[in-house]
Structure 1
C-alpha cells in the first residue's frame, strides 16, 4: 500500500473518529471534543486523548498520550488495540470497519494469498486481530463471575463472538464465543493464542470436551500482563494469575498456560526476583522445582507463593479478596508489599 493510500484511510477514519474510538478504545469515554483512554492498546485511564473533530490544533483522529509522549492517528490505534504486526493487516481491518471494498490486486499478482497453516503463529495473530476488546463483552462477564473485576493491563485478552471449535477430525465444526489471549515472546511479538470457549447463558466455560486450547509457538512464551522488570510473578492459568493481580495490580505477571510451559518460560534480563505462583497439585510441584533451579542458576531470587485451596482463583472465589490479600502479604518480600499491594478500600 502506498503512503497516499494510508493517508486516505487515516482521513476516512478521522471522519468517523468517535465511532472508531467507541469500537477500538471502548475502555475510554468522550469528554467534550476528545476521547480519553489509558493508551492505544485500550487500557482504562485518561492519559491518552483523541481529537474527535477537526480543529486549528489538528485534524480529527490524531491522538497524543500525555504519559509517554507517543502520538499518531487512528491507523495506529487499530494496530495497537488489535495487536496487529503487518501494516497490510491494519489496512485490511480499517477497510472492514469502513465497509470499503478490498483493494484491486496488483497487476503482477496472479494468485490469492494462501491461508495461514492451521495452528501456526500467523493463524494465531490473525485470530487475535479479528477479535474485539473485552470491556462490555461476555469475557468481562465470565471473568466477573470468577471474582476478577480489575482488568487493568489486560489488553492482550480479547473477545471473539464466533470462534470455531472442532472436537476431533471426524466431528463437525461448532461455533462458540471465546476469550482469546495473545501468547507473546520477550519482545512482545505474538507467537500464539490461547482460546477459552464460553457459554453465554452460564457465563462459564462452554460445555465441550476441551474448552481450552492453545495454538502457535508456546514453549518459552506466555500470556503477559504488564511489562517485566526487576520483579515479576509467573503462574500456569490465566484466571489464576489474574486473581493474584486483583490484590497486586501493578506487579508484572505471566501465565504460561501449563505446568510444563511454566518450567520453561523465558524471563527478561532485568529480572532479579521471581514469584512462582503455584497450583496445589503434583504438576505444580514439578513446575515449581524446575523454575527454582533455573532462576537460581541465573542469579534470580525465587519465592514460591502457594494458595490455600487448589489455586488462587479458587481462593478468591471461596475465601474472598480480603483473605487473598492477607495470603499474598504474608508470602511477599516486605519491600514488594509496599510497592505492589493494593490496600483494601475503606
Structure 2
C-alpha cells in the first residue's frame, strides 16, 4: 500500500461506521460489524466490515464470505461507486473526509483483489520445506499452553525457529513461528499460514499481526487427519485442534478465516460436514453460506457452536469435560460413538 493509500485508509477506518452508512446504505450494523450483501451495496449479509479494532484485526477491514474477497474501506469506495482508477478513489475519499485535494500526482497502482501469484505459492512451499516437525519445539509448547495435547496426524504443522516478519515500517525481524501447510484436495501445498511465537513459546509474538498467510488459500485448508465421509471445518488452527481433543479421530480442516471457510472445497467422499463457527457475525455468515453450499451438494451440514468465543476459549476457560459435554449434544448420535473420546 502506498503512503497516500495507507493514510486515507487509516483515516477512513477511524470513521468506519460512517463510511459504511454512506457507501453501504443497504446494510446494517450488528454488534461490531456492518453487514451487507456485497461490495456493490447489494442487500444481504455475506460481506462484513469490522467497525472497531479487536483481536481479530483493525477497524475498516472487510471480507465477503460468498466470494472470498477482502480489503479495506478504500476498496469499499471503489466497489460501491464502480471506480477504476486509484486517483478517483482517493479523490472520493478526500471528499468524504473533507480533506484538501492535492495537485495531480502520478497515479498509484490500481487497487484490486487479485489471485496470489505463483511465486507466492513457491515461496510458501520453500518455507514449509525449510521447517521442522513440531515435536519438541516451541510450536508444541505454544499449543500445550493453550490446552492442546493431542497432536497425532499433524504433519501439516511445522516449526521454523527464525521466520521473517515485516512490520509496517518496512523493517525486517525474525521470530520463531508455527508454520501450517495449506493444501488442496489432492494434497498439494498452495500456501502456508504463519503464527509468530514469543521466544519461550508461551504465547504469540508481541507484533502487530502475529498471524499471516501467503499463497493461494481459496478453497484449500490446513488438513489435519484424513477426511472420509465425515469431517469438521472451521476457522482457526487452535480452534480445530481444541475440538480434536474430544474428537481425536475426526478429520479437521482449519480454513484460517470466515471468508475462506465459506469457500472450502468438499472431498468427494464427504457426506456429513460439521461447521465449526466462531461466535461472531463473521462466523454466522460463513456458516450460512457453507450450509447452503453443502446441502446443494447432497452433504448434511451440522453447525457446532462454542459456549464462549471459540472452542479454544471453551477448552482453556471451561475445561475439557465441559467442552466434551457441549460438543456431544450437537453431534449426530452415530458420530458420538464413532469419534468422541471417553473421559479418563
TM range (shorter): 0.5 to 0.7
Post-superposition offset of 1:118: 9.0
What aligned pairs does 1:51-62 form with structure 2 within 5 A after superposition?
none
Q: Which residue of 1 aligns with 2:258?
A: 259
Aligned 8 A contact 2:225 2:251 in 1: yes
- Counterparts in 2 of 1:118 and 1:229: CA distance versus 1, 3 Å: closer
Q: Which residue of 1 aligns with 2:122?
A: 122
3-state secondary structure, aligned to 1:241: helix
For 1:132 and 1:164, how far apart are their aligned partners in 2? 16
For 2:179 and 2:289, how far apart are their aligned partners in 1? 28
How many residue pairs match? The answer is 228
Aligned 8 A contact 2:141 2:201 in 1: no
3-state secondary structure, aligned to 2:329: helix
Post-superposition offset of 1:119: 6.4
- Counterparts in 2 of 1:196 and 1:216: CA distance versus 1, 3 Å: same
Structure 2: gaps of 5 or more residues: 1-116
For 1:211 and 1:314, how far apart are their aligned partners in 2? 18
3-state secondary structure, aligned to 2:197: strand
For 2:307 and 2:269, how far apart are their aligned partners in 1? 31
Aligned 8 A contact 1:276 1:288 in 2: yes
Q: Which residue of 2 aligns with 1:171?
A: 170
Q: Which residue of 1 aligns with 2:316?
A: 317
Aligned 8 A contact 1:119 1:215 in 2: no
What aligned pairs does 1:1-346 form with structure 2 within 5 A after superposition?
120-168=120-168, 170-201=169-200, 203-345=202-344
In the superposition, the TM-score normalised over structure 2's length comes to 0.65
3-state secondary structure, aligned to 1:160: strand
Post-superposition offset of 1:171: 2.2
Aligned 8 A contact 2:138 2:200 in 1: no
User: For the aligned residues, what is the CA RMSD?
Assistant: 1.1
3-state secondary structure, aligned to 1:222: coil
For 2:201 and 2:120, how far apart are their aligned partners in 1? 31
Post-superposition offset of 1:167: 1.1
Aligned 8 A contact 2:138 2:201 in 1: no
Q: Which runs of 4+ in 1 moved over 4 A?
A: none
* Cα deviations by residue, 1:50-87 (Å, 9 ceiling, x for unpaired): xxxxxxxxxxxxxxxxxxxxxxxxxxxxxxxxxxxxxx
3-state secondary structure, aligned to 1:325: helix
Post-superposition offset of 1:228: 1.3
* Cα deviations by residue, 1:66-121 (Å, 9 ceiling, x for unpaired): xxxxxxxxxxxxxxxxxxxxxxxxxxxxxxxxxxxxxxxxxxxxxxxxxxx79611
Post-superposition offset of 1:317: 0.1
* Cα deviations by residue, 1:244-277 (Å, 9 ceiling, x for unpaired): 0001010011000000000000011111000000
Q: Which residue of 2 aligns with 1:35?
A: none
For 1:335 and 1:226, how far apart are their aligned partners in 2? 19
Aligned 8 A contact 2:235 2:257 in 1: yes
In the superposition, the TM-score normalised over structure 1's length comes to 0.65
- Counterparts in 2 of 1:332 and 1:249: CA distance versus 1, 3 Å: same
Greater RCO, CA 8 A, separation 6+ = 2
For 2:209 and 2:221, how far apart are their aligned partners in 1? 20
